[in-house]
Structure 1
Amino acid sequence: MAPLLDNIFWNTLNGTHAHLATGTDAARRYAPGFSPIVGFPDPQRPDFAALLPFCEPGERFYCDAWSGPAPAGWRIEAESTMVRMIWDGLMPERDEAPDAIQLDASHAGQALALALLTRPGPFGPRTIELGEYFGYFEGDRLVAMAGERMAAPGLHEISGVCTHPDHQGRGYARRLMLKLIRRQLLRGETPFLHVMRANEAAHGLYLRMGFRDYCETVVRVVTPDARYVP
């Protein structure tokens, strides 16, 4: 399990989610509309030249583990570090969010709007198709959600966890996460997630819930340079 988690971007895009990705044996990305994430067989030596034909100028992608200089044809727009965490707790005794609504394609617009407002991480208009997503509504308005994104045999990521600023402090995110954790464990999967190192509040919550730190890695946002001529 550990080697799969070490390079989970690639092991998802070239494995479980290969049918939702595009690229070559040297570089892959989620297809347009899904989360803008890229992966490489060796993330510390990424082949961006192999990825470039599958990208459009102006697209922004997230990649991890790589800290070298910007390759030809690309710009680095942001750099930080994130903590990859893996579940180390017990099975939740019950469904903590039995009243949550399972999201489907009809909710995609609201899910994207909530993600753009709260910035839980890379999110696209089709991200909720990557796994199960559940949410809480106030009337017809989506105010909190959590779901699944990357996956490899025996592993499933919890992602897209966010709550509208006007509805925070009600425990929505924690309850939705525990619902997903329970469902994953019952399927024989180990939950994992990513949290930015600077987000100390969320990191502390996840530790208290039962996650443990697996590793800390560089995360970068890169974009093809429209001025580049090979």
Structure 2
Amino acid sequence: MLALENIFWACLTGPHAKFATGTPAALRFAPGFSPIVAFPDASRPDFASLRPFCTPGEHFYCEGWSGQVPDGWVIEAESTMYLMVWDAPPPPHDEAPDAILLGPEHAQQAYDLAMLTRPGPFGPRTPELGEYFGYVDNGRLVAMAGERAAATGLREISGVCTHPDYQGRGYARRLMAKLLMRQMQRGETPFLHVMSTNASAHALYLRMGFKDYKETVVRVVAPC
């Protein structure tokens, strides 16, 4: 699983190249998708090549880099996160048969839920990157989980979140199990990212069957 060493570069030069913009030295998801950037060597990012593809006010997630900030950029946040890979048998059955497949008509609600709960970098068009399933109550999207990055044989689970009024009902775990089953039926290995500070989510994913692949630096950067 060499692609996991630089998963977003593998994604943006591979299955999701149609959603990428940039140069051979720097790529990003196109505006409207998740604000994530990637470089051929994550530890040596070429921000000068990226700059023409950025607009004022944008903020980007960049992983695997802990060097000095280049001129014209500012680091807005810095932390670490775990990259976790599934290491267990597939779920024996669909644990969320009542979940709905989200479509374009749910895009605004999905974005609003992500902005409320902050599951990670998310844009209005992020659900176009893969399958997203959710639970709806009285016309309101209250929980969702979906797919973001993809590389050959690998598929990321992302955007896992539940409205605060609906937490504690197992929605997120059931939606994740549904995605796990579907990905493994397609012959894909599921993986995900979780912030190192989110101890409860990290522990849940370990119990579910994920294992830590590596812990890496993640920064939020912006042009200035």
| Shorter-chain TM-score tier | over 0.9
Q: Specify the alignment match of 1:94 in structure 2.
A: 93
RMSD: 0.4
Q: Specify the alignment match of 2:156 in structure 1.
A: 157
Q: Specify the alignment match of 1:23 in structure 2.
A: 22
Offset of 1:72 from its aligned partner? 1.4
In the alignment, the residues of structure 1 paired with residue 71 and residue 187 of structure 2 have an alpha-carbon distance, to the nearest angstrom, of 43
In the alignment, the residues of structure 2 paired with residue 39 and residue 86 of structure 1 have an alpha-carbon distance, to the nearest angstrom, of 20
Offset of 1:15 from its aligned partner? 1.1
Kindly report which structure 2 residues correspond to 1:11-160, keeping only aligned pairs within 5 A, or say none.
11-160=10-159
Verify: 1:187 aligned to 2:182, yes or no.
no
In the alignment, the residues of structure 1 paired with residue 207 and residue 152 of structure 2 have an alpha-carbon distance, to the nearest angstrom, of 26
Q: Any gaps of 5 or more consecutive residues in structure 2?
A: none
In the alignment, the residues of structure 1 paired with residue 90 and residue 9 of structure 2 have an alpha-carbon distance, to the nearest angstrom, of 28
Offset of 1:23 from its aligned partner? 0.4
Offset of 1:13 from its aligned partner? 1.0
In the alignment, the residues of structure 2 paired with residue 197 and residue 41 of structure 1 have an alpha-carbon distance, to the nearest angstrom, of 25
In the alignment, the residues of structure 2 paired with residue 15 and residue 55 of structure 1 have an alpha-carbon distance, to the nearest angstrom, of 21
In the alignment, the residues of structure 1 paired with residue 84 and residue 189 of structure 2 have an alpha-carbon distance, to the nearest angstrom, of 11
Deviations 1:51-82 (A, max 9, x none): 00000011000010000111111110000000
Aligned length: 224
Q: TM-score, normalised by structure 1?
A: 0.97
Letter paired with 1:124: G
- Of 115-124 and 8-17, the range deviating more from structure 2: 8-17
In the alignment, the residues of structure 2 paired with residue 76 and residue 15 of structure 1 have an alpha-carbon distance, to the nearest angstrom, of 28
Deviations 1:59-106 (A, max 9, x none): 000010000111111110000000000000111100000000000111
Deviations 1:186-227 (A, max 9, x none): 0000000000000000000000000000000000000011xx
In the alignment, the residues of structure 1 paired with residue 167 and residue 25 of structure 2 have an alpha-carbon distance, to the nearest angstrom, of 42
Q: Specify the alignment match of 1:198 in structure 2.
A: 197
Letter paired with 2:126: T
In the alignment, the residues of structure 2 paired with residue 71 and residue 154 of structure 1 have an alpha-carbon distance, to the nearest angstrom, of 35
- 3-state SS of 1:15 partner: coil
In the alignment, the residues of structure 1 paired with residue 31 and residue 170 of structure 2 have an alpha-carbon distance, to the nearest angstrom, of 33
- Of 112-121 and 68-77, the range deviating more from structure 2: 68-77
Q: Any gaps of 5 or more consecutive residues in structure 1?
A: 226-230
- 3-state SS of 1:7 partner: helix
- 3-state SS of 2:197 partner: coil
- Of 7-16 and 78-87, the range deviating more from structure 2: 7-16
Offset of 1:9 from its aligned partner? 1.1
Q: Sequence identity, in percent?
A: 71
Q: Following superposition, which runs of at least 4 residues in structure 1 exceed 6 angstroms of deviation?
A: none
